[in-house]
Every structure is written in C-alpha cells, then in structure tokens.
Amino acid sequence: MTAPTKPPYGGTADSASERALGEPLHSPVIEWFDEHARDLPWRRPEAGAWGVMVSEFMLQQTPVNRVLPVYEQWLARWPRPADLAAEAPGEAVRAWGRLGYPRRALRLHGAAVAITERHGGDVPTDHAQLLALPGIGEYTAAAVASFAYGQRHAVLDTNVRRVFARAVTGVQYPPNATTAAERRLARALLPEEASTAARWAAASMELGALVCTAKNEECHRCPIAAQCAWRLAGKPAHEGPPRRGQTYAGTDRQVRGRLLAVLRETHGPVPQAALDRVWHEPVQRARALDGLVADGLVEPLPGGLYRLPLS
C-alpha cells in the first residue's frame, strides 16, 4: 500500500478526496476507543455537560493525572454552574490549586455566571450559545457540544491535530498554531452521523493521547498504522518551524505561581512582606505581581495588602 497523496498544510485539496480518506479511519479508531478508552469521570453519564465543561477548562495544557483530584474536589463543591457563580471569583482561583494557568479559573467562573444569568443554570446545548460564553473559545465550544451533547463538530486539540497530521497529511507534527487548512480537513474527516462524529472526536483525541504521542509513538498499537501516511512514507523528520518548548524554572510563571500559593493558603489579606519572601529578585517579583493584578487574579488593597478577588 502506498501513502495517500496529500498537499501540505495551507495547500488545496478536493474535499471529496478528504472525506474519502476519513471513511476507512473511522471504524478502526472508534473500535479501538471502545476497547481502550480510559475510564475518566467526565466521560461518565453522571458528569453531565457541566462536568464536561469543567474538565475541558482544566485539561488545557495540563495532564490528566494532575487534573483528576482537582476535578473531583471542584465538582463536589460546585456540582452546578450556579453553585460556582454564587462564590467570589477568588474562591475559584483558590480551588484551582497548582493546575497552572490560573486565568482559566477566572474564565470558568465567568462562564458559570453567564450560564446562570442567561441560561437558567444549564449549560446551553447550542454551539453558538456556548461560543458566546465568556472564556469559551472555538475548541471548548466544540468539545462541550460534542462530548456532552453528542453533536457533530470538529474538535481539534493538540492530540487530534497530531493524529491527523501523521495519518492523513504525512508529516510528523502539525503547525505550531491551528491553521484554516487543518480545520477544513477536520471537518471533511467528520462522519456524517452526529453520534458517530462525537465518538470519532473522542476516539481520535484518545489515540493521540495514548498511542500517537508527541514522542515515542507506539505504532505497533495503532489501529490505523497500516493506513498512516507518515509511517508509510518512512516517518520523515519534522521540517517545519521549531516546535515550541515550555520552560518553567526561573520564569515569571514560576514567580506568579509562588505568589498565588501564598494568597491561596491565606484566608484574608496578605501583607507585601509575606509576598516578598517568595522570590529573591525584586524586579521580577514586582513584575509578576503586577501581572497578577492586571489579570484580575489578585486584588490590591490599601496599606500594601493583597487578596484573591472578591468580584
């Protein structure tokens, strides 16, 4: 079998040809998912749309093993959007713990407030209404509509993009940022039936998370290895722009995390002196604190005091 001929990202292709490429992929990937999918709490029926939404916010740039305990605690405390909306946004930041990127907590709180005020406390089923919620972008709206409500949407996270890049386009990695060509390909690959499309979205994501990983991919476990354009081409090395790496030690992100840790662990205002002790370099420390204030994660008070936001 020869590798399918596909244009590079940004090129043109006949959509009928793209749809034809998707058909032989659907059944083996979904059947693999039926057998190997992880039992995750947000995939259980009792999670509901709110549980799915919470998981999608938490899983952005954060691995499952770190999300699980925080997710369970979050849903136990705030089982419905209205429960979270009734709390101060600072409590969402406190409960976020060390998941990282804490602005996600504020965005989730904002979405909960909007759901409570606009939709009677129920996560909307309509994709456009989901997209109109604060803090909800293209990916999250599609994921909630697909995973919670079984709708037909292209759900493009990093794992799915990598699977499509390798299996269909024949390259090792997708571009650093999602392109229009990727979105068009993802839509073309969607099964026609909504329930099958929703299953395909979850299955292709799980395949990228467990088998077609960024490093040390396990092609011998892959249900579509025999059809994978990248494998059939001999796994050519990545030729695009360098892949972005993530650093943490010594960065402003680390300083922000340490400052927030002090505020999370203290119920009440914190003096400047307590924050000064968390980082030795005053310029970087001040810059990080200013950034937290600008992002709405920290509220300054008179007398050199700080606290998590109350409104």
Q: Which active-site residues does the annotation give?
A: 56
Which candidate, 58, 44, 135, places its Cα nearest to that of 95?
58
* One-letter identity of residue 291: G
Contact 58, 98 (CB under 8 A): no
**Two structure tokens written together for 165:** 């890049």
User: Secondary structure of the chain: what % helix, strand, coil (to 5)?
Assistant: 60, 5, 40
Q: Please state, in angstroms and rounded to a whole number, the distance separating the CA atoms of residues 128 and 31.
A: 31
Which candidate, 201, 161, 166, places its Cα nearest to that of 181?
161
Q: Please state, in angstroms and rounded to a whole number, the distance separating the CA atoms of residues 59 and 65.
A: 10
